[in-house]
């Protein structure tokens, strides 16, 4: 016979302190690790998106240089990042590495900030990754795209850990 467990309200202590702490300086290696993780996810989305795109070609091959296909893949990739950042402040790769994206005011990220960040991240990536390397010389260690979008990446740790 199972015992019935009763809880007395005086035994349950309300949580007065948050169970998580935030570290505002995220290392470049941790950022890169999350980016690599997300790269695999985006490649998977590209494969799924290609299957979807093939429905419109009735199974015919997609011609090399097809602009519609290229723009479709760009839209898939941007939708992943903007959607994840705007909805919960992190992608799956960022969650795996305990990273979260917030606005510089400390509030959750808006979709417009996520869009601005994605635009500048892609632009600076196309320029040799200058936006990411910028963090090496920035006094707050912020990449250029975070500075322009007024966002910052934080490390979320459990209290007493890290």
Tens digit of each residue's pLDDT (9 = 90 or more) over 48-57: 999 989 888 8
Query: Considering the domain boundaries, does residue 144 fall inside one?
Result: no
φ/ψ (deg, to 5) at 12: -90, 115
Total number of residues shown for the chain: 162
Query: Considering the domain boundaries, does residue 101 fall inside one?
Result: yes
**Looking at residue 26, what is its pLDDT?**
85
How many domains is the chain partitioned into structurally?
1
Query: Considering the domain boundaries, does residue 128 fall inside one?
Result: no
SS3 at position 151: strand
Q: What sign for the dihedral angle of Cα 121, 125, 126, 129?
A: positive
Query: Considering the domain boundaries, does residue 52 fall inside one?
Result: yes
Question: How large is the greatest C-alpha to C-alpha distance in the chain, in angstroms?
Answer: 70
Query: Considering the domain boundaries, does residue 123 fall inside one?
Result: no
What's the pLDDT band for 58 if we cut at 50, 70, 90? confident
Query: Considering the domain boundaries, does residue 92 fall inside one?
Result: yes
* Exposure letters 115-151 (e unless 16+ CB within 10 A, then b): bbbbebbbebeeeeeebbebbeeeeebbbbbbbbbeb
Query: Considering the domain boundaries, does residue 3 fall inside one?
Result: no
Q: Which region among 10-24, 41-55, 70-84, 125-139 has the lowest average model confidence (pLDDT)?
A: 10-24
Query: Considering the domain boundaries, does residue 141 fall inside one?
Result: no
Which residue range forms the structural domain that includes residue 38?
Answer: 20-109+151-158
- pTM for this one? 0.79
Q: What is the mean pLDDT of residues 10-37?
A: 68
Q: What is the mean pLDDT of residues 84-109?
A: 93
In 3D space, the residue among 47, 29, 50, 48 whose CA is nearest the CA of residue 99 turns out to be 29
25, 141 Cβ separation under 8 angstroms = yes
């Amino acid at each position: 016979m199972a015992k019935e467990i009763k809880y007395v309200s005086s035994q349950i202590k309300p949580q007065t302190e948050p169970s998580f702490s935030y570290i505002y300086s995220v290392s470049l290696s941790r950022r890169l690790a999350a980016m690599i993780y997300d790269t695999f996810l985006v490649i998977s989305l590209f494969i799924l998106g290609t299957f979807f795109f093939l429905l419109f070609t009735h199974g015919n091959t997609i011609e090399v240089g097809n602009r519609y296909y290229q723009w479709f893949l760009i839209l898939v990739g941007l939708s992943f990042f903007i959607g994840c950042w705007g909805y919960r402040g992190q992608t799956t790769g960022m969650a795996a590495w305990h990273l979260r994206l917030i606005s510089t005011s400390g509030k959750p990220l808006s979709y417009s900030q996520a869009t601005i960040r994605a635009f500048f991240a892609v632009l600076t990536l196309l320029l040799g990754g200058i936006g990411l390397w910028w963090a090496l010389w920035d006094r707050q260690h912020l990449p250029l795209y975070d500075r322009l979008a007024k966002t910052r990446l934080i490390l979320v740790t459990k209290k007493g850990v890290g």
